[in-house]
């Protein structure tokens, strides 16, 4: 066994060999950004107030929730995320103009990162859509795509652009993403509105993908397989949906006790030239697990090729 110094050098060399895009670097910087430990207000105090704000919001007391967030903003003015949280709260309360005001302050903040700007643009798009301003909404969601975002945010922005572009999707997916006229959204109704969108535009893959994803998220794994397979036969807005569809199809198949189907989906995902590094590692890890199951449960995946 080598020395600790040798292991450290080997580990640093392995890290240095990893290739990251500028988007990945920016997202990592945002995720790791934290105030210094000598920050003038205790981080636990700030977190406790955010928790109190969440509790107040949950019981519909938006005024009390805003007081908690405003205290954080006064005590921690160097953190633009506090303005973003305030904007989200005001939007949830239906106070769209004051939500825009908070977003404008966050956009002007000197420490607002590119990743946070993407989130602010996304919120502005949502507010414009709720106000019936389709052109403005599209412009904001297009701006999101030009900024450093993860795959989930990209899929969401492209789905919103689809509803803003296709009149058939506007009403059902508008309710899916933004709720009723007062901004009240009930996740229990998501499958209903996704199904309405699929009925309105049966030749598109996006609505039926949303149905399958909704079933998957509700752990109805066997039920999710049919819609996900159907979505594969229809056009999707972007390759990011194709990748995520394969990923959740594989996971749903595994949880539905269909390991061979899971293996085929993971293999197809791993062969894609455009798969992100993290998703590729996940697919390869699952393929290794499934091959191991072949050794312990011969019925599971006899058709999988041997590991390279």
Q: Average pLDDT, stretch 7-26?
A: 75
CATH number for the domain harbouring residue 29: 1.25.40.10
Write the CB contacts of 254 (distance below 8 Å, at least 6 apart in sequence): 262, 286, 290
Q: What is the pLDDT of residue 298?
A: 56
Higher per-residue pLDDT: 28 or 292 = 292
Is residue 306 scored above 50 in pLDDT? no
Shared domain check, 144 and 40: yes
Q: What is the pLDDT of residue 199?
A: 98
- Percent of the residues in the chain that have a pLDDT greater than 90, as a whole number: 76
Q: How far is it, in rounded angstroms, from Cα 160 to Cα 125?
A: 9
Q: Average pLDDT, stretch 79-92?
A: 96
Shared domain check, 154 and 294: yes
Q: How far is it, in rounded angstroms, from Cα 275 to Cα 240?
A: 9
Q: What is the pLDDT of residue 19?
A: 72
CB 72 within 8 A of CB 49: yes
Given 91, 125, 149, the domain boundary residue is 149
Based on its alpha-carbon atoms, the radius of gyration of the chain, rounded to whole angstroms, reads 22
Shared domain check, 219 and 130: no
Write the CB contacts of 48 (distance below 8 Å, at least 6 apart in sequence): none
Residue 6 falls inside a structural domain: no
Shared domain check, 277 and 175: yes
Shared domain check, 255 and 198: yes
Structural domain for 260, as ranges: 150-308
For the stretch 99-147, pLDDT in tens is 999 999 999 999 999 999 999 999 999 999 999 999 999 999 999 999 9
Shared domain check, 167 and 276: yes
Picking from 120, 122, 211, 218, the residue whose alpha carbon sits closest to that of residue 172 is 211
Shared domain check, 144 and 155: no
| Overall number of domains in the chain | 2
Shared domain check, 97 and 227: no
Write the CB contacts of 239 (distance below 8 Å, at least 6 apart in sequence): 274
pTM of the model: 0.82
Is residue 299 scored above 80 in pLDDT? no
Given 118, 149, 180, the domain boundary residue is 149
Is residue 299 packed enough to be buried (19+ CB in 10 Å), middle (13-18) or exposed (0-12)?
exposed
Residue 140 falls inside a structural domain: yes
Q: Would you place residue 308 in the very low, low, confident or very high pLDDT band (cuts 50, 70, 90)?
A: very low
Shared domain check, 102 and 199: no
Shared domain check, 168 and 155: yes
Shared domain check, 182 and 127: no
Residue 124 falls inside a structural domain: yes
Given 123, 149, 175, the domain boundary residue is 149
Q: What is the pLDDT of residue 106?
A: 97
- Percent of the residues in the chain that have a pLDDT greater than 70, as a whole number: 89
Shared domain check, 139 and 166: no
Residue 195 falls inside a structural domain: yes
Q: What is the pLDDT of residue 257?
A: 95
Residue 73 falls inside a structural domain: yes
Average pLDDT, the chain: 90
For the stretch 28-46, pLDDT in tens is 666 666 555 545 567 888 8
Residue 11 falls inside a structural domain: no
CB 190 within 8 A of CB 215: no
């Amino acid at each position: 066994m080598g020395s600790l110094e040798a292991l450290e050098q080997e580990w640093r060399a392995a890290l240095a060999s990893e290739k990251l895009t500028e988007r990945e670097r920016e997202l990592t910087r945002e995720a790791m950004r934290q105030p210094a430990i000598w920050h003038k207000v205790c981080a636990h105090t700030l977190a406790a107030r955010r928790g109190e704000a969440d509790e107040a919001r949950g019981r519909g007391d938006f005024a009390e929730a805003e007081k908690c967030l405003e205290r954080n903003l006064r005590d921690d003015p160097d953190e633009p995320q506090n303005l973003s949280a305030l904007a989200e709260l005001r939007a949830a309360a239906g106070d769209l103009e004051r939500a825009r005001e908070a977003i404008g302050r966050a956009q002007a903040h000197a420490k607002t990162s590119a990743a946070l700007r993407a989130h602010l643009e996304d919120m502005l798009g949502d507010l414009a859509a709720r106000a019936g301003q389709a052109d403005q909404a599209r412009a904001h969601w297009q701006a999101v795509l030009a900024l450093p975002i993860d795959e989930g945010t990209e899929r969401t922005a492209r789905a919103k652009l689809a509803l803003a572009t296709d009149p058939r999707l506007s009403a059902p997916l508008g309710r899916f993403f933004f709720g009723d006229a007062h901004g009240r959204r009930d996740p229990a109704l998501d499958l209903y509105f996704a199904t309405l969108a699929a009925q309105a535009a049966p030749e598109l893959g996006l609505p039926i993908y949303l149905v399958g994803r909704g079933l998957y998220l509700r752990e109805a794994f066997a039920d999710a397989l049919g819609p996900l397979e159907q979505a594969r036969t229809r056009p999707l807005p972007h390759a990011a949906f194709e990748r995520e569809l394969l990923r959740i199809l594989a996971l749903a198949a595994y949880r539905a006790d269909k390991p061979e189907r899971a293996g085929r989906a993971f293999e197809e995902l791993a062969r894609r030239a455009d798969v992100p590094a993290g998703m590729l590692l996940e697919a390869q890890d699952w393929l290794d697990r499934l091959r191991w199951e072949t050794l312990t449960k011969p019925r599971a995946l006899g058709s999988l090729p041997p590991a390279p």
